[in-house]
Amino acid sequence: MTREKNFYSPAAIFKPPKAMRGGVPICFPQFGNAGSLEQHGFARNKLWAVDDDPPPLPPNDSVGKSLVDLLLKPSEEDLKFWPHSFEYRLRVSLAASGNLILISRVRNINGKPFSFSFAYHTYLSVSDISEVRIEGLETLDYLDNLHQRERFTEQGDALTFETEVDRIYLNSPNAIAVLDHERKRTYVIRKEGLPDIVVWNPWEKKSKSMVDFGDEEYKQMVCVDGAVIEKPITLKPGEEWTGRLEISAVPSSFCSENLENTGL
């Protein structure tokens, strides 16, 4: 998964505490503004430490990959707003195939339970949003953020784009395909521990209102996020949650019928 497969806005502001418009921001411990914290929580705006001695992961998540292990712990300021002690370990790895793998492990080191929502806010680069379709969401219920999270059911055999989209698809399959017809390329998103999928494209009107996003850039991106939103994770003291996301790019002959039959 190389840089050109992720979307980064040239207008992005690379200055904390402003979140970067592009890549894969980490939304933790809150997704969106449905809570007391800032939009999408504080993790995406933090400086993380390199984790020199992380707890082991299965060999298939280590062997043959270039990787870095990162660690986030709450600051005293964080604890004022979200009074829960945690250790968040993030492994970012790149396989020889170009697949990008993100593994998050959140451990409760608090004396009491806490709950959180989460998303890998994945910006994908596409040729033209009007030529993109997402397969694997058919018949799923979703919450529409453009209608106060009212619940609907997806009626189409694939999701296409003709206007702003901001939806949370619930109980989604562990593999989703994002087809870019013009580039003849399909992104395959595989996930574990992430039951929901967020799909977002701001379209023309909202794009013009965002200072860190070009007026026409909505045509070259779509966000497809592995997430836990409808039913937040609750961890008892000492418990750990793991959420894994893998993104690959395959030829466009690939389709959703193949999702469960390939090792990609």
Q: Which residues are annotated as a binding site for substrate?
A: 21, 39, 44
Please state, in angstroms and rounded to a whole number, the distance separating the CA atoms of residues 228 and 168: 10
Q: Which residues sit opposite 102 in a β-bridge?
A: 92, 245
Residue pair 41/25 in contact (Cβ under 8 Å)? The answer is no
Please state, in angstroms and rounded to a whole number, the distance separating the CA atoms of residues 94 and 68: 9
Burial of 23 (0-12, 13-18, 19+ CB in 10 A): middle
- Token digits of residue 260: 């469960």
Annotated binding site: 21, 39, 44
Please state, in angstroms and rounded to a whole number, the distance separating the CA atoms of residues 9 and 24: 12
Greatest Cα-to-Cα distance within the chain, rounded to the nearest angstrom: 53
Q: How distant is the alpha carbon of residue 93 from its chain centre?
A: 15
Q: Which amino acid is at 39?
A: Q
Residue pair 82/29 in contact (Cβ under 8 Å)? The answer is yes
Closest CA to 165 of 202, 136, 128: 202
Q: Which amino acid is at 84?
A: H
